Amino acid sequence: MAETRIGRDTKGVYIIAATPFADDGSIDFRSVDSMVDFYLEHGVNGMTILGMMGEANKLTEDESRRFASHILRRLKGSLPVIVGVSGAGIDNLRDLAGFAMGEGAAGIMVAPTPGPAVEDRILGYFAQVCDAVGPDVPICFQDFPQVTGVPVSSNTILSLTRNHPQIVMLKHEDSPGLAKVETVRTKSGTADTPRMSILCGNGGLYLPLELARGADGAMTGFAYPEMLVQVVNRHAAGDVDGAEALFDAYLPILRYEQQLVFGLAARKEILRRRGAIASAFVRRPGPRLSPADHRDIDRLMRRTEDYVRRLGNAA
Amino acid sequence: MAETRIGRDTKGVYIIAATPFADDGSIDFRSVDSMVDFYLEHGVNGMTILGMMGEANKLTEDESRRFASHILRRLKGSLPVIVGVSGAGIDNLRDLAGFAMGEGAAGIMVAPTPGPAVEDRILGYFAQVCDAVGPDVPICFQDFPQVTGVPVSSNTILSLTRNHPQIVMLKHEDSPGLAKVETVRTKSGTADTPRMSILCGNGGLYLPLELARGADGAMTGFAYPEMLVQVVNRHAAGDVDGAEALFDAYLPILRYEQQLVFGLAARKEILRRRGAIASAFVRRPGPRLSPADHRDIDRLMRRTEDYVRRLGNAA
Amino acid sequence: MAETRIGRDTKGVYIIAATPFADDGSIDFRSVDSMVDFYLEHGVNGMTILGMMGEANKLTEDESRRFASHILRRLKGSLPVIVGVSGAGIDNLRDLAGFAMGEGAAGIMVAPTPGPAVEDRILGYFAQVCDAVGPDVPICFQDFPQVTGVPVSSNTILSLTRNHPQIVMLKHEDSPGLAKVETVRTKSGTADTPRMSILCGNGGLYLPLELARGADGAMTGFAYPEMLVQVVNRHAAGDVDGAEALFDAYLPILRYEQQLVFGLAARKEILRRRGAIASAFVRRPGPRLSPADHRDIDRLMRRTEDYVRRLGNAA
Amino acid sequence: MAETRIGRDTKGVYIIAATPFADDGSIDFRSVDSMVDFYLEHGVNGMTILGMMGEANKLTEDESRRFASHILRRLKGSLPVIVGVSGAGIDNLRDLAGFAMGEGAAGIMVAPTPGPAVEDRILGYFAQVCDAVGPDVPICFQDFPQVTGVPVSSNTILSLTRNHPQIVMLKHEDSPGLAKVETVRTKSGTADTPRMSILCGNGGLYLPLELARGADGAMTGFAYPEMLVQVVNRHAAGDVDGAEALFDAYLPILRYEQQLVFGLAARKEILRRRGAIASAFVRRPGPRLSPADHRDIDRLMRRTEDYVRRLGNAA
């Protein structure tokens, strides 16, 4: 059985799960199951649910809980699951965190709340969050300034993990960000600052380079999770070139999927075409695919499969 | 009895209501009652609840509904109430709007959702909102770019009210904004664009000047609502100088209260001191008053009362 | 003769000077002279030129130098002058700083350059600035996130003044900002951090409250500098109530002038009406006053003079 | 000889030129020459100078003019050159535009100036720009909200090109942006709106997809301009698959180079390694390459050359 909590040494691929809807907009729990199976079959090491890509802010509170509960109970601890609990109010965040941990979550993910973007505010906010959820709940700090509007220095991230033993993981998706990965890797795990696990988001656009800088893996929702898994595994095994060659074969479609906002619709459609979910429905407001977008996806999926086949033949 | 729905000719003062909490953070319904009484006694023409100042995003869904329901049932239509329903997902927005209207709300208030800040996105978003809530629900468009991060041109506002007969009101709180009030006033109520009611927010900082540009009143939460009411009434009665003299007497404390984010804590404390609510508690994350802030409030309240007394004596 | 350099104990009113243009858009040096006389007659303690309000970014390099040189030579050290040198490139900044100091400036003002708004970047940027201009040039750090788009924590400001002995002054115009003034005042002038002079901008909107929190004075361009001077002097002399009463008499027009962007046009028009400059011309792109704006200014100037007269009679 | 002005039907690759510096920070005119030769040898159809990538805002006015003049005189009209003239003041913009056109530029590029991001302001700003530079100067509108902070709707872009016959070209670098390319392509060249040339920036990250949506080419500074040229040419010749295969071979290094801010340092280093310029110096403030960055570039250049060689062998 997997360890039940995320920690400072957590490695691998934590796939950001979509929230599958039926065409009428309700949560499609049958697709939840098939999606979880899809992720498991493709070898992910963990799962992150109710993130931005999971359209968490468009669910009702009840839906969020039912969705989290359904997945956690199905997995029964066989795979660690991080639950996104970011929100405007700390009481609501605490309640959802408590619920999720009670259902067996491996940790929670929290992004800085919008507001005056001074970094001493972030320190104060996370002190409140840690106080509210209690010291036993492991926290992944989500650093995604393009979306949160709250840029955060490496120094502030290091302060957070130093001040709060429970802030054990960084979801890195600042951009550009290679130097930041390097800084957090180098300056944590030192005499004064404990090691921080670093999983990289940003759609995976720089994954091999981030691994070379010391990242521990990926946390993103790319619809071909098997690539993420193999890249991380090969890299860990020392096959840096092989990891990058595989990555490059998927890069054209990956860079298409990582478009902000729009990418969610593309990703759900690719998951649908691959059989993971029954419908690519995105709740409003949200992107809709045009005929040209569908043609792009046709083309990119076909080309990706060609590249991967050729790469396999060459190997 | 007041008309039950807001419309294109709505005028007066719609006070933005706080959400009163007990010191343990729960909604204090006894204070809800005393606060509503306080607003009624001070002559407001309407009330707006579950706005940003109402800490709506820190309530649970259930709390939002119980709070709205409590106020609407207590008022029984004796005062029109606008319910803020802004949120990330249109389904949740629609559900809350439906609930509020069912309980007797006079309309809903909606701010543009965060996202790429191109104005054609705003047009699309409000088309979805109108479609979702149905054509019978009057909408107040909240234009508050400092907080939403979504600036909106006068032209876009005029398109919205032209395209959607139900978008009848502008809550104006762009800054600087006098030219915008003038533009919307001049270019609505024309052959091609129906009149739009304009109520001004921004803490009331420019209220007399906005009235001179054609605004219909105020929608803000200033803790001395009697001033807002008298200023709007005197202005409507032609006593422009008297209106402004009264406003100026309150301006020192008003400009203190209109500080972004921080102002909420000051406002709740002033409401508490005036007997409207029992506790100035603000949910986390939120501003806390320091000893120096308390001294500021002591001083500003005392000085305000002096100014107003002197003004009364002079009259 | 005034001390020639700003320092950590600098106090008083540093007026932000406009750049006067003729109606054809060229710098009107005769108005430069009359404006400087106007500021001197009204008792300011220093002057800041080529700031944002000085439309510095719309001058040519040659114009900037001729303007600075003209004022510095005219004043011959009789009044300390801070020269704004903010700009995209550090070489240009260094050259202008060197020129200004050579002409007798008392210091330079620098705002963080736009870019990724992480605070460790700010620390790096100011290390480069200090290195480029050399250790003998006193620097005023301009903290104006609403305009620069770069929010900065109190902690970062304290690090800057601790790391760089030449960063002696804070131009404070964050908003809300009273707690920040208090923090910088309390945490500088301590065992580990030297005292920092704090002059407040933001149009002066909170000046009496900022003085109560320990600010040393004002640095703003309000077109009635005599008020700023008297408020600071009375406050320093212990007449806190008298200072605030005077301030309040001017507050209606002050809050009109402090509107972002638009305020510059209003301020130049008021300076023109008061005889300080010959034309209110603002270079493009820039705000233009409408007939309604002119009526506002008529009214606000008249009312201000009434208030001040009445206050004088009451004293 | 090439046509001397850009127009509504302009197609191809306009390379965004770097500004080469010596290691002492001065402009290295010998490298300017070799860089221009490099671009010519690799077949570009035009050149854009003094853009953001050209560090234009870190040059003195004199340097900008000498740099532009040097290139324009060297090319003697053999290649159309667009000169970036964006800046805070319209007078300065007009003067630089006049100078550049006098020296033989093919047009100017203008981005919206920072300020309140309402789109009716953009319309007003470009009316002033067109008025200032005169109707004979062709303008390329730069749509780069990530950097300018000013998002602009397709509708506003279409209004600009409709209202101002001289706004003939869109430099498209909004993100995500495929739908925007499609909209501008479809809705210009119609009965009421003249055709707009669309050249795509964003480092080229989506170039083949943008060409499929109707873009006319690329305007970006990728250090392998031969790829951009061949992709555009093959696509125009109907070899859509061949174009994309070539693009994909370069995509790993392209996505590295397109990182905001940081990318400039990488690009200059790659240009240096390829012999186009003598030094990769970037003026302060600006990114510096770390040892890890150099290793990334080693690796990515080597892999790119391998991919391209293999692709050639396969063809």
pLDDT at C2 (0 to 100): 46
CA distance C274 to C38: 9
Q: Any idea which fold D12-223 has?
A: TIM Barrel (3.20.20)
Alpha-carbon Rg for chain D, nearest whole angstrom, is 19
Chain D residues touching B158 at Cβ < 8 A: none
pLDDT at A227 (0 to 100): 98
Residues in chain B: 315
pLDDT at C314 (0 to 100): 80
Cα separation values, C113 from A50, C145, C147, C150, C286, Å: 36, 11, 11, 8, 21
Neighbours of C23 (CB within 10 A): 10
Torsional sign, CA C256, C258, C263, C264: positive
| Yes or no, beta carbons of A176 and D262 under 8 Å apart | yes
pLDDT at D5 (0 to 100): 97
Cβ contacts below 8 Å, chain A against chain B, sum to 66
CB within 8 Å of chain C, chain A residues 168-227: 174
Residues in chain A: 315
CB distance from D160 to chain B under 8 Å?
A: no
What kind and span of H or E run contains B68?
helix B61-75
Over residues C13-21, the mean pLDDT reads 98
Which residues, at least 6 apart from C13, have a Cβ–Cβ distance to it below 8 Å? C43, C44, C45, C46, C217, C218, C219, C225, C228, C229, C232
Give the SS3 label for residue C198: strand
Q: What is the DSSP letter of A189?
A: S
Instruction: Name the residue among C150, B196, B183, C55 with its Cα closest to residue D124.
Output: B183
CA distance A202 to A259: 9
Token digits of residue B99: 């609930």
Q: Beta partners for D167?
A: D139
Q: How far is C303 from chain B (nearest CA, A)?
A: 9
CB distance from D154 to chain B under 8 Å?
A: yes
**Which chains have 3 or more CB–CB distances shorter than 8 Å to chain C?**
A, B, D
pLDDT at A1 (0 to 100): 41
Q: How far is A237 from chain D (nearest CA, A)?
A: 19
Q: Please answer whether residues A216 and A11 qualify as being in contact, where contact means their C-beta atoms are separated by less than 8 angstroms.
A: yes
Of A149 and B237, more confident: B237
Instruction: Select the residue of B179, B206, B262 nearest C176 (Cβ to Cβ).
Output: B262
CB distance from C293 to chain B under 8 Å?
A: yes
CA distance B291 to B269: 13
Instruction: Name the residue among B314, B289, B212, B271 with its Cα closest to residue B54.
Output: B271
Residues in chain D: 315
Reported as a pLDDT band with limits 50, 70 and 90, residue A2 is very low
Q: How far is B195 from chain D (nearest CA, A)?
A: 20
- Nearest chain D residue to A178 by CA distance is D293
The residue type found at D76 is K
Q: How buried is D23 (Cβ within 10 angstroms: 0-12 exposed, 13-18 middle, 19+ buried)? A: exposed
Over residues C236-250, the mean pLDDT reads 98
- Nearest chain D residue to B153 by CA distance is D118
Chain D residues touching B156 at Cβ < 8 A: 119
CA distance C198 to C166: 14
Which sequence spans correspond to the domains of chain C? Answer: 12-223
Instruction: Name the residue among C51, C82, C114, C53 with its Cα closest to residue C271.
Output: C53
The per-residue pLDDT for range A6-62, each reduced to its tens digit, is 999 999 999 999 999 999 999 999 999 999 999 999 999 999 999 989 999 999 999
The per-residue pLDDT for range D105-160, each reduced to its tens digit, is 999 999 998 776 688 999 999 999 999 999 999 999 999 998 888 899 999 999 99
SS (H, E, C) chain D: CCCCCCCCCCCEEEEECCCCECCCCCECHHHHHHHHHHHHHCCCCEEEECCCCCCHHHCCHHHHHHHHHHHHHHHCCCCCEEEECCCCCHHHHHHHHHHHHHCCCCEEEECCCCCCCCHHHHHHHHHHHHHHHCCCCCEEEEECHHHHCCCCCHHHHHHHHHHCCCEEEEEECCCCCHHHHHHHHHHCCCCCCCCCEEEECHHHCCHHHHHHCCCCEEEECCCCHHHHHHHHHHHHCCCHHHHHHHHHHHHHHHHHHCCCCHHHHHHHHHHHHCCCCCCCCCCCCCCCCCHHHHHHHHHHHHHHHHHHHHHHHHC
Q: Please answer whether residues A98 and A133 qualify as being in contact, where contact means their C-beta atoms are separated by less than 8 angstroms.
A: yes
Q: How far is B12 from chain A (nearest CA, A)?
A: 31
Strands B139-143 and B167-172: parallel
CB distance from C88 to chain D under 8 Å?
A: yes
pLDDT at A3 (0 to 100): 58
CA distance A86 to A88: 7
CB distance from A288 to chain B under 8 Å?
A: no
Q: How far is D65 from chain A (nearest CA, A)?
A: 32
The per-residue pLDDT for range C56-100, each reduced to its tens digit, is 999 999 999 999 999 999 999 999 999 999 988 999 999 999 999
Burial B79-113 (b: 16+ CB within 10 A, else e): bbbbbbbbbbbbbbbbbbbbbbbebbbbbbbbbbb
What kind and span of H or E run contains A30?
helix A29-41
Cα of first residue to Cα of last residue in chain A, in angstroms, is 34
Token digits of residue D229: 């040229």
CB distance from D157 to chain B under 8 Å?
A: no
Low-confidence stretches of chain B (pLDDT < 70) are: 1-3, 116-117, 315
pLDDT at A115 (0 to 100): 75
What kind and span of H or E run contains C263?
helix C262-273
Q: What is the DSSP letter of A214?
A: T
- Nearest chain C residue to D126 by CA distance is C285
Instruction: Name the residue among A124, A125, A118, A75 with its Cα closest to residue A100.
Output: A75
Give CA A5 to chain center in angstroms: 16
pLDDT at B1 (0 to 100): 41
Q: Beta partners for C274?
A: none
| Yes or no, beta carbons of B290 and C175 under 8 Å apart | no
Reported as a pLDDT band with limits 50, 70 and 90, residue A149 is confident
Among A295, A296, A300, A311, the strongest candidate for a mutation testing the D interface, having the largest count of D CBs within 10 A, is: A296
Contacts 24+ apart (CB under 8 A), A180-186: A180/A143, A180/A154, A181/A210, A181/A213, A181/A214, A181/A215, A182/A213, A182/A214, A182/D290, A182/D292, A183/A154, A184/A154, A184/A157, A184/A158, A185/A213, A185/A214, A185/A215, A186/A214
CB distance from D292 to chain A under 8 Å?
A: yes
Q: Please answer whether residues D203 and D246 qualify as being in contact, where contact means their C-beta atoms are separated by less than 8 angstroms.
A: no
Reported as a pLDDT band with limits 50, 70 and 90, residue C3 is low
Q: Please answer whether residues A115 and B147 qualify as being in contact, where contact means their C-beta atoms are separated by less than 8 angstroms.
A: no
Give CA D8 to chain center in angstroms: 16
Cα separation values, C190 from A228, C187, C194, C199, D268, Å: 52, 6, 6, 19, 46
| Yes or no, beta carbons of B292 and C260 under 8 Å apart | no
Q: Kindly compute the dihedral angle of the four CA atoms of residues B206, B212, B214, B216, in this order, to the nearest 10 degrees.
A: 60
The whole-model pTM stands at: 0.97
Contacts 24+ apart (CB under 8 A), B311-314: B311/B245, B311/B246, B311/B249
Task: Please state the ipTM of this predicted complex.
Answer: 0.97
| Yes or no, beta carbons of B205 and C292 under 8 Å apart | no
| Yes or no, beta carbons of B58 and A92 under 8 Å apart | yes
CA distance B200 to B198: 6
Over residues D191-215, the mean pLDDT reads 98
Q: Please answer whether residues A235 and A218 qualify as being in contact, where contact means their C-beta atoms are separated by less than 8 angstroms.
A: no
| Yes or no, beta carbons of A120 and C153 under 8 Å apart | yes
Q: Residues A73, A74, A78, CA angle at the centre, nearest 5°?
A: 95
% of chain C at pLDDT higher than 70: 98
What kind and span of H or E run contains B48?
strand B46-49
What kind and span of H or E run contains A107?
strand A107-110
